[in-house]
Amino acid sequence: QSVLTQPPSASGTPGQRVTISCSGSSSNIGSNSVNWYQQLPGTAPKLLTHSNNQRPSGVPDRFSGSKSGNSASLAISGLQSEDEADYYCAAWDDSLNGVVFGGGTKLTVL
Amino acid sequence: EVQLVETGGGLIQPGGSLRLSCAASGLTVSSSYMSWVRQAPGKGLEWVSFIYSGGSTIHADSVKGRFTISRDNSKNTLYLQMNSLRAEDTAIYYCARQGDSAWGAFDYWGQGALVTVSS
């Protein structure tokens, strides 16, 4: 049981916009920044967004993060087949004194 | 270019010990905040341990008292000593660098080392 809650799956067609949600509590998302990762099959996770809505250099602007209260979202616009991957949210948890992750969302591009 | 290369994984019996290494290049382990993150087969990510640049460490409750994170500054290498291993510790173990932004934003990752705990 993950501390942060994500839907197990999401899907969309090429060109579509999809969003993935991440729900937490006041001790994690409510008081700390949210980060998102993309994990392609058989590879290490890749930092997609950090500090709620910042993209590392090289990440396309099709990916955008947002946060409101105890929840966060990752939006992917102009969906492409290569976006098919697992997506994870992460944040610091003040009560657990550590980083917590969501359970992951498997994105399928139909 | 930053590279993190984990070694030391393998098959180990329950109750046994194993030490993972993470050799870094392109960054200085002693001046970075470094972590271990694991992923059980077919499951999600789980943070394991942090070592701060000053040397202090923290561990997740699930491994506290059994796992120890450390580093060798002269070798620019991060370690994870794992004792009293259990079946539920079976996972790919990644070393990762905490970036200069939000906590939990790991900007560089190794390729991972598979640890299998089984009799």
Q: Residue B30 corresponds to which tokens in the numbers above?
A: 């002693």
Per-residue pLDDT of chain A (110 residues; tens, 9 = 90+): 899 999 999 999 999 999 999 999 999 999 999 999 999 999 999 999 999 999 999 999 999 999 999 999 999 999 999 999 999 999 999 999 999 999 999 999 99
Q: Which amino acid is at A37?
A: Y
CA distance A1 to chain B (A): 10
Vertex A86 angle, CA A110 and A26, to 5°? 125
CB contact under 8 A, A51 and B102: yes
Residue B79 pairs in a beta bridge with B21, B70
Give B-chain residues touching A37 at CB under 8 angstroms.
45, 106
For tokens 């944040």, the residue is A91
CB contact under 8 A, B47 and A32: no
Burial category of B66 from C-beta neighbours within 10 Å (exposed 0-12, middle 13-18, buried 19 and up): middle
CB contact under 8 A, A91 and B103: yes
CA distance A76 to chain B (A): 19
